[in-house]
Amino acid sequence: MAVNLVQASASLDFATLFVIAVCVTALLGLFLLFAWMQERIRALAWWGAAYLIGAASGALWRFGDQIGPALPSNLSTILLFVAVGLIWSAARLFHGRPVRWIAALFGAAFWLPACFVPAFASSAASRIVVSSLIVAGYTFLTAAELWRERRKSLIRRWPAAFVPMLHGAIFLFPVALAALAQDNNVSRDLARGWLALFAIEILLYAVGTAFIVLILAKDRTMRAYKMAATTDPLTGLLNRRGFFEAAGSVMRRHCGKAAPISVLVFDLDHFKSINDRCGHSVGDAVLQLFAAVVRQTMRSTDVIGRLGGEEFVTLLPGSQADAAVAAERVRQAFAAAGILRNGQHIAATVSIGIACGSPSSAIDLLIARADTALYRAKTNGRDRVETAAETADSVTEQHYGEHGDAIAHRKKEKEESAANNGALESCIA
């Protein structure tokens, strides 16, 4: 009598745990779908659908015989394999990789014909081993997709890969315990204990994975917002705000080093003439061309931004001589590039000013000195590179006055008509 009460209690506990796991999984699936409607991240919809399919699989496995005999006996298992395949596909989508439909549905496609093989269908141990291997395989694939992103700033939390790996490892235990499927009382009691453990683990895995997925989605959304706030939409370079944030970070990292920091300020020559004669669409194309040239010519570690209009700026760790070499490469590459509009080649040039100082210098002081050197490049004939003679430590308030005069001259110059300046070829109206 006591044994029967213990067995009934264990059965009740397992049934309760399984129902809770199914309900929580379904609710998490709905929550992920709601998050997808808010964030419009496609992978969230796949994760939500996978959770709902997994909950349906659990409900059919536990209560399928009460719903009706018309349902196929293996439908719950097939739905489970579809669910884990969708979770793996969602991890791929989240990181911009395509869905591999054949691989995602391989588990379900393999299981369905295997069930028609008498030797496999009659062997409980074989079914346990194969189903455990399929679930664990997809789970390890999901962990691998997340682990591949470990070097990117979007994913730096080890649980993103560790939780699926732990889940897959737990699902491998039945492979070693397949003998529990034999029909005897001790094995059934032990198997029931393992089922209760799986119910708890599935519940924890579903909750933990959903939590990690939502954190990743939030990080991606915040990253997109930050990028939109710090990126110039026309050229794809950093805007003024983004440049000063990135440049400040670089200078702080180099503060303890003796190596100097250089600033290059670029201004496209006769840009007003291009807009007036060829239209603003051609002017935008020239700005995009210069952005592409400077991005390809400079190092990936250099900070490049658009200060406004046709003025760009770059901060790079290195001496003034190194900066002059880089500036000359940009000048030559841009002069040789040009664009085609209405079958006619439109060339453009750039003037560049350079200033160098220590990493402890104020970034606005370096830009001020580089801008003064740029003004000299403009007055000395354009399409050239000029360097600032002073060091950052010798900059005074008097220099700011000189820089202000240079800015005033340049503004006046830009306001004057430049229709007859330069050697720009005319374009077809």
User: Which DSSP string corresponds to 235-264?
Assistant: T-SB-HHHHHHHHHHHHHHTTTSS--EEEE
Q: Which of the pair, 109 or 95, is modelled with greater confidence?
A: 109
Q: What is the pLDDT of residue 346?
A: 76
Between the CA atoms of 141, 47, 56 and 201, what dihedral angle is there, to the nearest 10 degrees? 60
Q: What percent of the chain clears pLDDT 70, i.e. is strictly above it? A: 71
User: Where along the chain do its domains lie?
Assistant: 2-230, 240-415
The pLDDT score that the predictor gives to residue 263 is 95
What are residue 97's phi and psi, to 5 degrees?
Answer: -100, 150
Is the per-residue pLDDT at 29 higher than 70? yes
Q: What is the pLDDT of residue 89?
A: 92
φ, ψ for residue 312, nearest 5 deg: -125, 165
Nearest to 145 by CA among 185, 109, 100, 106: 100
Q: Are 29 and 50 in contact (CB under 8 A)?
A: yes
pLDDT tens string 72-88:
778 888 898 999 899 89
In percent, the amount of the chain with pLDDT more than 90 equals 27
Q: What does the alpha-carbon distance between residue 171 and residue 324 come to, in Å, rounded to a whole number? A: 61
Q: Residue 206 is encoded by which pair of tokens?
A: 């579903």
Place of tokens 């560790």: 162
Mean per-residue pLDDT for 110-138? 83
* Alpha carbons 294 and 305: distance in angstroms, whole number: 10
* pLDDT confidence band for 399 (50 / 70 / 90): very low
228 pLDDT more than 50: yes
What average pLDDT does this structure show over 158-184? 57
Please give the model's pTM, rounded to 2 decimal places: 0.58
What's the pLDDT band for 389 if we cut at 50, 70, 90? Answer: confident
Higher pLDDT among residues 273 and 354, named by residue: 354
Summarised one tens digit per residue, pLDDT across range 196-212 is: 566 666 667 777 777 77
- Note the pLDDT of residue 402: 45
Q: Tell me the DSSP string of 58-105.
A: HHHHHHHHHH-TTS-TTHHHHHHHHHHHHHHHHHHHHTTPPP-HHHHT
- Supply the CATH classification number for the domain 2-230: 1.20.1070
The burial of 70, by beta-carbon neighbours within 10 Å (0-12 exposed, 13-18 middle, 19 or more buried), is given as exposed
- 46 pLDDT band, cuts 50/70/90, is very high
Q: Which residues pair with 350 in a beta bridge?
A: 268
Looking at per-residue pLDDT, the higher value among 281 and 194 belongs to 281
* 295-352: pLDDT as tens digits: 999 988 899 999 988 999 999 998 999 999 999 999 999 988 877 666 667 778 999 9
Structure tokens at 116: 């028609």
Is residue 174 very low, low, confident or very high in pLDDT (cuts 50, 70, 90)?
Answer: low
For residue 259, is pLDDT > 60? yes
Q: Residue 97's pLDDT is what?
A: 87
Q: What is the pLDDT of residue 222?
A: 80
pLDDT at 159 over 90: no
Structure confidence at residue 401 (pLDDT): 44
- Identify the residue whose tokens are 């570690």: 301
d(CA 342, CA 347): 14
Can you say how many angstroms the Cα of residue 249 is from the centroid of all Cα atoms in its chain? 21
Antiparallel, parallel or unpaired: β 350-357 and 385-387: parallel
CA–CA distance, 267 with 385 (Å, rounded to integer): 11
- CA dist 183 to 7, 117, 127, 198, Å? 16, 21, 15, 20
Look up tokens 């503004």; give the residue.
Answer: 411
In this structure, what token pair is assigned to residue 101?
């439909």
Residue 205: alpha-carbon gap to chain centroid: 24
Q: Is the separation of the CB atoms in 135 and 81 below 8 Å?
A: yes
Beta strands in 84-172 (DSSP E): none
Write down the CATH superfamily of domain 240-415: Reverse transcriptase/Diguanylate cyclase domain (3.30.70.270)
Where does 231-347 have alpha helices with state H? 240-253, 271-278, 280-297, 320-337
In residues, how long is the chain? 429
